[in-house]
Structure 1
Amino acid sequence: MAAVPVMLATRRPDAASDEAVPASGPLIDTHGRVHRDLRISLTDRCSLRCTYCMPEQGNEWLARASILTLDEIERVARVAASIGISTFRLTGGEPLLRPDIVDVVRRLATIEGPRGPVELAMTTNGIRLPDFLPGMIDAGLDRLNISIDTLRPDRFRELTRRDRLDDVLAGIAAAAASDLRPLKLNAVAMRGVNEDELVDLVSFALDHDAELRFIEQMPLDAGHTWSREHMVTREEILETLATRWSLTPLPGRGGAPAERFLLDGGPATVGVIASVTAPFCGDCDRLRLTADGQLRNCLFSTTEFDLMPILRPSTGSGTGTGSGTGTGSGTGEAGVDEMDAGIERMLRTCVHRKLPGHAINDPSFLQPARGMNAIGG
């Protein structure tokens, strides 16, 4: 498989646009949303080939030279924390495929912002958790989300194109045996695939002292085959769960993506992330950093903000997608203060240009060129 750059529209701060971008204060956009959450993708590669995310063959991986180093990730994270980011979530692809994953956790877990230490979370398919979880916990990992869309081996093979369900279940068991709480399990609800397992998935989560979070299928597959007909909606999910449990909405959602409900009065809960039928864009507080150094202010954005000319001023963009010279010196001798200032300007510009919503339900909506594995959750 060829390693090629991903071609997208990229942005850099310029004199005209910088005039309106706040130079200090919280990371706040023009719609009043304060940003506190940075999703950091560590790789676009994955050990599964889920049909709603990636094709089985012909994937065009990011060039290895374009992937951010641990030093670069830490630098961006420290600047982000200094201006208000209080949660980092490590994603992919599959973050546990990164060979230095324990060191990534250890370095990021030491970062503090104005309000104290950051919270460090991870989303994973769980396959390599038994090997890495003890080290990551010792290194400072705080929370964990594990993806599990079906409990049936035949369906798992068909959905992921890999026979790895036992490995995922072993990873969930390792997480359940640890002290990491809350533990969350994520499931994408799909018509004709797993809509008859919704109750079973919640029961499985409860048996592992975890919260199941159902996710409406979103238009983020690399093959652009998403259709509304295949999506199980929020209302359908809740109607199905109501056949087994009474559901009581929990208040105080804030910027969290999931609506949460008490099961039979609690304390057990279930969550629903309804990005398509009940968007929560008005409270979104998230930014994303791709594995190749692009900032994204929305999961569905068609524009990215290129950090590579700042992080690698002597070589320019590591992705080949840059739209200008960047904000680094271009000499390879940019000082630490200048580099950090450039990162901060890009973070602030990215947030400042965030749109009010993703517009999935608008006829003009365009699916992002990247698949979910290359964007990072």
Structure 2
Amino acid sequence: MHTIPTLTDQYQRRFTYLRLSVTDACNFRCNYCLPDGYSCDSDEPNLSIPEIAAVANAFALNGTKKIRITGGEPTLRKDLAEIIHVCKTTPGIESVALTSNGYRITRLLPSLVDAGLDQLNLSADSLHPAQFQLITGHDKLQEVLAGLDLALELGLSKVKLNVVLLQEYNKAEIDNFFAFVKHKNISLRFIELMRTGDNGAFFNAQHFSGQEIETRLLEQGWRKTDTGPHAGPAKEYSHPEYAGRIGLIMPYSKDFCSSCNRLRVSSVGNLHLCLFADENQSLRPLLSMPSEQVARHIRQCVLGKKATHELHNNLSGSTRHLAMLGG
């Protein structure tokens, strides 16, 4: 019986989850990421469909089970449905997820689900339209919320809403976010603001710890639940009186990296072992080779993954802003 190799690093962490960026372009101007809007700083083209197929095959040969399509904003790719189809039909890939800002998600989602999409993450850093527009630069809150409802109607296996925690912009809304999942079967995930190369002053003014929310959850009777083997880094909580769940992504918490199970490939084919690493390895020159050779190269690269990020030391590696790799 053929044994599938695994992507395992020197700390015995196993990587079954690939975050695949398909563009670094974004049409939002979120104040914590691209406050001045997107600016292209490379002439290198995005990965083509055949290159994406080669990446998906190589990771699947190494035991990857889940691929999340990210950006920038992936819906800016006109061939997004084809990308999803290629990933979903790759032997060994069990689920395909999409992270989107939701700009025109209601128009696109039916075709994406037809292509094989299983899971959807949207973002709303405020539930007040004016505040949402202040944060993102767009009056699109109602489109995002409609996208959540449509995803549930279409039967996606997991529907999530991401909320970046911002001291001045949404800390006062925490109870509103709790109430939002009372009757809606989604996972709402609070994400601590992370320091990147471009947001130092903003980070210092806006960051606050998810531990405050975790304490509140426990006081109100929420209990930690199992998120499954190929899930992301969120600690998830459920409550018997709520249809939805609440997750916390706290990269500054102790041992955050000890359970890491995900790797990243950028929109131009660079393998990033960590969102906040200095180095990356270009896979693009290898993608015309047999998938087994690419898979073997990836296994060798993973052995160089460090034990933890250096965010605690104010080091964000080569990540200038989160749109570069989709967070």
Q: Distance in 2 between matches of 1:31 and 1:225?
A: 34
1:35 to 2:27 alignment = no
1:148 is aligned, of 93, 118, 124, to 124
Q: Tell me if the contact between 2:232 and 2:262 (Cα under 8 Å) persists in the aligned partners.
A: no
1:344 is matched with: 295
Q: Which residue of 2 aligns with 1:302?
A: 278
Structure 1 residue 238: deviation in Å? 2.3
1:166 is matched with which residue: 110, 117, 142? 142
Q: Which amino acid aligns with 2:276?
A: F
CA shift, 1:249, in A, is 1.9
Offset at 1:296?
A: 0.4
- Supply the distance in 1 between the matched residues of 2:175 and 2:187 (Cα, whole angstroms): 13
- 132-141 or 216-225: which moved more? 216-225
Residue among 287, 290, 315 paired with 2:263:
287
Structure 1 equivalent of residue 79 of structure 2: 100
Q: What residue in structure 1 maps to residue 62 of structure 2?
A: 83
Residue of 266, 277, 280 corresponding to 2:253: 277
Shift of 1:171: 1.9
- Structure 2 residue corresponding to 1:66, chosen from 39, 45, 51: 45
* 1:260-314: CA deviation from partner (whole Å, max 9, x where unpaired): 1122476642111111134421110110010011000111111110112223xxx
> TM-score, normalised on structure 2?
0.90
In the TM superposition, what is the alpha-carbon distance from 1:131 to its structure 2 partner?
Answer: 1.4
* Aligned residue number for residue 217 of structure 1: 193
CA contact (8 A) 1:221 1:372 kept: no
SS state at 1:39 partner: strand
Q: How far apart are the structure 1 equivalents of 2:103 and 2:274?
A: 28
Q: Secondary structure at the match of 1:188?
A: strand
| Structure 1 residue aligned with 2:166 | 190
Secondary structure of the residue aligned to 2:86 is: helix
Paired residue for 1:374?
324
Residues 53 and 221, structure 1, Cα contact 8 Å, conserved in 2: no
**Conservation of the 8 A alpha-carbon contact between 2:184 and 2:244:** no
Give distance in 1, aligned partners of 2:88 and 2:109.
15
Which residue of the partner structure matches residue 230 of structure 1? 206
CA contact (8 A) 1:263 1:270 kept: no
Map 1:195-214; keep pairs closer than 5 Å.
195-214=171-190
Q: Does 1:48 align with 2:23?
A: no
In structure 1, stretches of 5+ residues that fail to align are 1-23, 312-333
Contact 1:288-1:376 within 8 A present in 2 as well = no
Unaligned runs of 5+ in 2: none
Deviation at 1:175, TM superposition (A): 1.7
> Would you say the 8 A contact 1:176–1:183 is kept in 2?
yes
Question: Which whole-Å CA distance do the structure 2 matches of 1:107 and 1:124 have between them?
Answer: 19
The alignment partner of 1:76 has SS state of: helix
Secondary structure at the counterpart of residue 161 of structure 2: strand
Identity of counterpart residues, as a percentage?
A: 32
The aligned amino acid for 1:271 is: G
Return the offset for 1:41: 0.4
Distance 1:111 1:57, change over 3 A: closer
CA-to-partner distance for each residue in 1:191-212, whole Å, 9 max, x for gaps? 0110111121232234432111
Distance 2:147 2:38 in 1: 28
Give 1:227 deviation, angstroms.
2.9
Distance in structure 2 (CA, Å) of the matches to 1:361 and 1:221: 14
Tell whether the 8 Å contact from 2:22 to 2:266 is kept in structure 1 after alignment. yes
Q: Residue 262 of structure 1 aligns with which residue?
A: 238
Residue identity in the other structure for 1:186: N
State the Cα distance separating 1:246 from its structure 2 match.
Answer: 1.6
> Does the Cα contact within 8 Å between 1:121 and 1:144 map onto a contact in 2?
yes
TM-score by length of 1: 0.79
Amino acid at match of 2:223: T
One-letter amino acid of the structure 2 residue matched with residue 293 of structure 1: G
Distance 2:204 2:198 in 1: 16
Structure number, greater radius of gyration: 1
CA displacement at 1:128 relative to structure 2: 1.7
2:267 maps to amino acid? A
